[in-house]
Each structure stands twice: as C-alpha cells, then as structure tokens.
C-alpha cells in the first residue's frame, strides 16, 4: 500500500509542477465545503506556498458545494494579500460561496461540463443540537410570500402560525448574508 500511496503522491506532484509551469504560478486545490473552521488551515497553507516558492500568481483548482460567504470573504483577503493575480480552475462545480470565490479571481477556467452555481448564501445555524447550513434566500423568499399573502388577505391560519414563529434576528442575519454576497460580487 505504501508504494501505491507514493505513486499517487508522485503523480500529483508531477501534475502540479506541470500546472505551475503552464500558468507560471503557485498551484493549490480546494475540495470541500467552505467553512470558517478551515480558515486557519487555509491561511497556513497559503503562507506555506508563499514561503516555499512565491510567484505573483496563484492558481486554485476549486471543487465545492459552497458554504459560508463570510469565510469566502476572508479567504479572498488572505489570497489577495499574497498574490497579484488569482486564477481559478473549476473542473466540476463551484456552487454558491464557491461561485463568489471564483468571481474574486482574475480568470476562471472551465470546460463544457463545469458549473458555477446559484448564489444562495448559506448561514450556519444550530438546530436540534447540531450545526447546519441553511439557504438564506430560501427563507427570505418564503417569508416574503407569506407577508404578501397577509397583505392580500389570503394568509391561512397555518401560514400565520409559520410566520408568527419566525426568529426576527435570524431573518436579519439572512438579510445580512444576502447583502454581503451582493457586495462581494460587485467588488
């Protein structure tokens, strides 16, 4: 098994070297959810790349279902602190916060089957004793529909109960995540 592990590592290193030569920059891969808990490791990895062989350009191979827009904002700050140019390679998909991350770059490389996703900021909440991400725009859209039905006089008693049980502070947090996503895309 050790030989197989070493063969895989050698092949990955060879391919990274080819990409670094092709793009004349440092190369990294980010695969997985974008989460604030990963920020320290992300920063450490970027600083390791810079200390090893700093180039002016960073190429990020990105595959993510999305995650925290606040974490993406910090990741962009970290990357832009160290690199003049940032390119993204999206071989499969970069959804939601991943799309925002890509939009911070100077170039995005995709093929015919790659996807950037809809931007619906995911907000981390604690529910039933566990943390989970929820789609902020989905909640805001549904509450807006219920408010409109109330204004039209067509709100059912069940819908009234749903609307009455909304946490206004949490709804405001969803609005802030939406507004931050818009600001980051514009920037």
Instruction: Tell me, yes or no, whether 6 and 92 share the same domain.
Output: yes
Instruction: Tell me, yes or no, whether 103 and 135 share the same domain.
Output: no
Q: Which of 67, 86, 119 is the last residue of a domain?
A: 119
- pLDDT at position 83: 97
Instruction: Tell me, yes or no, whether 112 and 127 share the same domain.
Output: no
Query: Does residue 60 form part of some domain?
Result: yes
Query: Comparing 14-28, 86-100, 115-129, 151-165, which segment has the lowest mean pLDDT?
Result: 115-129
Cα distance between the two ends of the chain: 47
Q: How many CA atoms lie within 13 A of 115 on its CB side?
A: 9
Instruction: Tell me, yes or no, whether 93 and 127 share the same domain.
Output: no
> What is the CATH classification number for the domain harbouring 110?
3.90.226.10
Q: In 3D, which of 48, 34, 41, 46 has the Cα closest to residue 82?
A: 46
Query: Does residue 85 form part of some domain?
Result: yes
Instruction: Tell me, yes or no, whether 93 and 165 share the same domain.
Output: no
Residue listed under structure tokens 């911070």 = 104
Instruction: Tell me, yes or no, whether 83 and 136 share the same domain.
Output: no
Q: Which of 119, 143, 161 is the last residue of a domain?
A: 119
Q: Which of 78, 99, 119 is the last residue of a domain?
A: 119
Model pTM greater than 0.85?
no
Residue pLDDT, tens place only, 91-149 = 999 998 999 999 999 999 999 999 998 877 777 777 788 877 777 888 888 899 999 99
Q: What is the dihedral of CA 102, 105, 111, 112, to 10 degrees?
A: 60
Query: Does residue 187 form part of some domain?
Result: no
Q: Please count the structural domains in the chain.
A: 2
pLDDT band at 37; cut points 50, 70, 90: very high
> Rounded CA gap, 121 and 77, in Å?
18
Domain that holds residue 23: 2-119
Instruction: Tell me, yes or no, whether 76 and 140 share the same domain.
Output: no
Instruction: Tell me, yes or no, whether 27 and 105 share the same domain.
Output: yes
């Amino acid at each position: 098994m050790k030989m197989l592990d070493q063969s895989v590592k050698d092949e990955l290193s060879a391919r990274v070297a080819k990409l670094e030569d092709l793009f004349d920059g440092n190369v990294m891969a980010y695969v997985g959810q974008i989460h604030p808990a990963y920020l320290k490791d992300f920063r450490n990895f970027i600083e390791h790349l810079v200390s090893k062989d700093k180039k002016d350009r960073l190429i990020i191979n990105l595959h993510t279902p999305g995650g925290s827009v606040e974490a993406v904002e910090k990741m962009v700050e970290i990357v832009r602190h160290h690199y003049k140019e940032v390119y993204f390679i999206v071989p499969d998909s970069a959804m939601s916060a991943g799309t925002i991350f890509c939009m911070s770059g100077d170039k995005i490389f995709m093929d015919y089957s790659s996807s950037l996703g809809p931007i619906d900021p995911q907000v981390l909440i604690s529910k039933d004793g566990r943390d989970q991400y929820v789609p902020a725009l989905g909640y805001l859209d549904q509450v807006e529909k219920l408010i409109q039905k109330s204004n039209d006089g067509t709100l059912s008693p069940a819908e009234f109960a749903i609307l009455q049980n909304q946490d206004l502070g949490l709804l405001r947090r969803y609005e802030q995540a939406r507004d931050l996503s818009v600001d980051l895309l514009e920037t």
